[in-house]
Amino acid sequence: MAKTNIKIEGVPYQVEEGLTILEAAKACGYEIPSLCAFNHGECSKGSCRVCLVEATGARGLVASCVYPVNEGIEISISSPAAVAARRASVELLLSNHSMMCQQCDKNEYCELLHVARATGARENMFRGTHTPTTYDDLTPAVVRDTSKCILCGRCVERCKSAHGKGVLGFENRGFNTIVAPAENRSFDKSPCILCGQCVSVCPTGALMEKSEIDKIDQAKKQGKHLIVQAAPAVRSALGEEFGMKIGTPVTGKMVAALRRLGFNKVYDTNFAADLTIMEEATELLGRIKNGGKLPMITSCSPGWINYAEINNGDLLEHLSTCKSPHEMFGAIAKTYYAETNGIDPKDIFVVSVMPCTAKKGEKEREQLKTNDIPDVDAVITTRELGKLIKRSGINFTKLPDEEFDQDLLGDYTGAAVIFGVTGGVMEAALRTAYYSLTGKEHDLVKFEQVRGFDGIKEASLDIDGTVINVAVAHGMKYAQVLLDDIRAGKSKYHFIEIMGCPGGCIAGGGQPYVKSCFLPNEDDDILDTYKEKRAAALYSEDQRQTVRQSHNNAQIQKLYKEYLGEPNSHKAHEILHTSYKARDAFRD
Ligand code: SF4
Ligand code: SF4
Ligand code: SF4
Ligand code: FES
């Protein structure tokens, strides 16, 4: 890579050619305040003017996030003019801001407050009329409060890259500009799939998940039997809420914390992930054998299900009818577990800790009830669990490692753990499909072709003469490519895994914020590598498990023997399967 000679505050440096001043300065050990710039160019439009510096050859101050370095450029970050201009930019933003910091859930991770501190900005320097604002909390998952929006556009870019079609945009003009779905609609009357990707990049509290912590407090007061389950991706990221390095697995401490939060039972959603594989692999082989609708597509990701119902209503027969793992868990908790323990299912309150905001919406679906009782009662994100632990005065990093409750719904295998990363459901299903067709375990266990972060991955498996072609897509932009092929009759696949969020659940919209300004102990490339690090935490847990195939989960075998009969039985269908319906995003 060619090098460029630059000077910062008179000190000479050599940096890679083509960097912006912001990137070059970071490489040389300086931190220029910035807001709208994010993730190496995602939405670096130079709109917020928080990153102004002086540079030779430029007329006046330049936005360092978009201005490239050139040979011999001399940069000043600390000149009085640059310092004053950055402070004025932030003060302008604050002057049109609601400044309800104490009540704002973003407080601890607010980048606007961070740059206000870094620039010495004061809130009341400019007074005047505020832009008219909108508060949209009509969905169960995502809340939009434009009184806290700084119009940086990160959410618009992220929604476009993750969702593909892009739900958010700038509405109105000039002083009245706000960020909203088209025609200023509320999220519930838009094609929003509730994935929360916009929430994970918003620098302020303008986009947040809808908190359900109060529901847990309420259930405790009512004396409910509280069962909590945690999804695999949560343990790969929860430590980040407590300053631990990205990719640190914290399963044991998470269990210890959940116990200290007063849950009667602490279980792992992985039990139900194994159950999902039993049902889904059986469904797939049944469709292949009996000429059913192919390719069959996974149904674990509620962001994807929303997208399918809104945008691809003609393809819903391709979806597996399996409920997602946490919904299966809730359904089993309120039937098998309730009957075995003699508890009225109405007295059981199931909380899911999820990396996902869309699961908050999923649990409200009419089709996800068993005997008219919702399978899951509350969903909190990894971030909300972090808040709950801090609120309760628990010193997370000092907790001992504890085990999940082992009775009845406690066993899980390595196959279940990798559900949290793109390709994981596919790999887990192939391990069991191979066994179902051959009666033998596959030698490799690992199916490398479906690992990694390519937008679309594919593989072919010859199982005793039955060839199974599979594909994996994550993020709706890539999923739509596979769906268009199915619609055109060109798809060669038998089985497709689709996850709503790019990277899968490890990078779900409810996971801890990955913002370099709050991660001083991480490597500089963390925004490029955090998904790999979280994924590695899950793959290593799979590797450590002695049992790595869902069909070898002893408690799952017992559940079928004593309660469900066999996979895809009538009873299994009643409790563990669901249905879908095409929706008009602008009405339903
Ligand atoms: S977004 Fe930040 S600055 Fe605005 S109210 Fe929330 S914490 Fe305060
Ligand atoms: S929740 Fe997802 S689909 Fe909805 S606006 Fe945000 S990024 Fe777009
Ligand atoms: S909602 Fe958040 S991410 Fe979107 S423009 Fe406003 S401040 Fe930026
Ligand atoms: S960070 Fe450079 S203009 Fe916003």
Q: What is the pLDDT of residues 49-101, one digit of tens each?
A: 999 999 998 888 999 999 999 999 999 999 999 999 999 999 999 988 988 89
CA separation for the pair 174, 437 (Å, rounded):
63
> Which pTM was predicted?
0.93
Q: Determine the residue of 94, 95, 106, 518 to mutate for testing ligand 1's pocket, defined as the one with the most ligand atoms within 8 A of the Cβ atom.
A: 106
Q: What is the pLDDT of residues 4-46, one digit of tens each?
A: 999 999 999 999 999 999 999 999 999 999 998 876 555 557 8
Closest-CA residue, ligand 3 atom 2, reads 202
How far, in Å, CA of 143 to CA of 133, rounded? Answer: 13
CB 131 within 8 A of CB 177: yes
pLDDT one-digit tens code per residue, 355-409 = 999 999 999 999 999 999 999 999 999 999 999 999 999 999 999 999 999 999 9
pLDDT digits (tens, 9 = 90+) for 267-311: 999 999 889 989 999 999 899 999 999 999 999 999 999 999 999
- Cross-strand bridge partners of residue 495: 296, 470
What crossing angle do the helices spanning 302-311 and 476-487 adopt, rounded to 10°? Answer: 50
Counting ligands in written order, the one closest to the CA of 47 is: 4
What region does 9 belong to: left with phi over 0, alpha with psi -120 to 50, or beta? left
The finding on whether 146 has its CB within 6 A of some atom of ligand 1 is: no
- Provide the token pair at 120: 């010495």
Closest CA to 330 of 281, 361, 363, 356: 363
The tokens for 177 are 């500009």
Instruction: Look at ligand 3, atom 3, and give the residue with the nearest C-alpha.
Output: 202
Cα 558–Cα 562–Cα 567 angle in degrees, nearest 5: 75
The domain limits of the chain are: 3-94, 131-209, 214-576
Whole-angstrom CA distances from 551 to 172, 203, 406, 569 are 55, 44, 18, 16
Percent of the residues in the chain that have a pLDDT greater than 70, as a whole number:
96
361 in Cβ contact with 490 (< 8 Å): no
Of the listed ligands, the closest to the CA of 45 is 4
Residue 114, pLDDT above cutoff 80: yes
* Cα–ligand 2 centroid distance for 358 (angstroms): 10
pLDDT, average across residues 170-181? 88
Percent with pLDDT over 90 in the chain: 66
CATH pick for 214-576 out of 3.30.1360.120, 3.40.109.10, 3.40.950.10, 3.60.15.10: 3.40.950.10
Q: What angle do CA 499, 269, 437 make, to 5 degrees?
A: 70
- 3-state DSSP call for residue 20? strand
Residue 577 pLDDT greater than 80, yes or no:
yes
Query: Looking at the DSSP assignment, which residues form a beta bridge with residue 3?
Result: 16
Beta strand pairing call for 373-374 and 369-370 = antiparallel
Burial group, residue 528, by CB count within 10 angstroms (0-12, 13-18, 19+): exposed
Measured CA to CA, the distance from residue 113 to residue 121 in angstroms comes to 9
Distance CA 81, CA 7 (A): 18
Ligand at shortest distance from the CA of 145: 3
Instruction: Please give the Cα distance from 529 to 395 (Å, whole number).
Output: 28
Contact 188, 200 (CB under 8 A): no
Query: Measured between alpha carbons, how far is 456 from 311 in angstroms, rounded to an integer?
Result: 19
Cα 442 to Cα 431: distance, rounded to the nearest angstrom: 7
- For the record, the structure tokens of 366 come out as 């009419």
Task: Give strand pairing partners of 4.
Answer: 15
Encode pLDDT of 135-168 as tens digits.
Answer: 999 999 999 999 999 999 999 999 998 888 889 9
Select from 42, 155, 171, 513 the residue to mutate for testing ligand 3; criterion: most ligand atoms less than 8 Å from CB.
155
Residue type, 74: E
Q: What per-residue confidence (pLDDT) applies to 336?
A: 97
CA 204 / ligand 1 centre spacing (Å): 6
pLDDT, position 132? 81
Mark 153-168 as b/e (b = at least 16 C-beta within 10 Å). bbbbbbbbbbbbebbb
The response to whether residue 194 sits with its C-beta less than 6 Å from ligand 2 reads yes
77, 402, 75, 60: which is closest to 260 by C-alpha?
Answer: 402
Residue 292 — φ and ψ, nearest 5°?
-75, 180
Q: Are β-strands 296-297 and 348-354 bridged in parallel, bridged antiparallel, or unpaired?
A: unpaired
Task: Tell me yes or no: is domain 131-209 CATH 3.30.830.10.
Answer: no
pLDDT, position 513 = 92
pLDDT at 445 over 70: no
CB of 310 closer than 6 angstroms to any ligand 4 atom: no
Q: What is the phi/psi pair of residue 42, to 5°?
A: -65, 115
Phi, psi angle pair for 184, to nearest 5°: 60, 30
Range 3-94 classified under CATH 3.40.50.12160: no
What is the rounded distance in angstroms from the CA atom of residue 362 to the CA atom of residue 327? Answer: 9
| Average of per-residue pLDDT values in the chain | 90
Phi, psi of 401, deg, nearest 5: -80, 125
Mean pLDDT lowest for which of 474-483, 526-535, 556-565? 526-535
Tell me which residue of 199, 334, 191, 351 sits closest to 269, measured CA to CA.
351
Q: Is the CB of 46 under 6 A from ligand 4?
A: yes
Q: At residue 487, does pLDDT exceed 90? A: yes
pLDDT of residue 455: 83
**Residue 41 confidence (pLDDT):** 54
